[in-house]
């Protein structure tokens, strides 16, 4: 069995690259940083709940 055909047997999404967008605004204060950080954490915690 060729390596390429073995990879195709995985479900969709396995091995996909992660899309990362850097912030477009400058984080000037801890409050700005905390808002962005909490948004990331909430997204990470929400994603598995939506997949279930």
pLDDT, tens only, 14-51: 666 777 777 777 878 999 889 989 998 998 889 888 87
In a domain, residue 51? The reply is yes
Domain carrying residue 39:
22-52
Calculate mean pLDDT across residues 5-16.
54
In a domain, residue 44? The reply is yes
In a domain, residue 5? The reply is no
* The token pair that represents 26 in the structure block: 């400058």
Q: What are the helix (H) ranges across the chain?
A: 3-7, 30-51
Nearest to 40 by CA among 16, 14, 20: 20
Our count of domains for the chain comes to 1
In a domain, residue 11? The reply is no
- 19-25-30-32 Cα dihedral, nearest 10 degrees: -80
């Amino acid at each position: 069995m060729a390596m390429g055909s073995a990879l195709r047997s995985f479900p969709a999404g396995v091995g996909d690259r992660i899309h990362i967008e850097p912030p477009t605004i400058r984080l000037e204060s801890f409050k700005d940083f905390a808002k962005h950080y909490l948004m990331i954490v909430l997204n990470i915690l929400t994603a598995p709940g939506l997949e279930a």
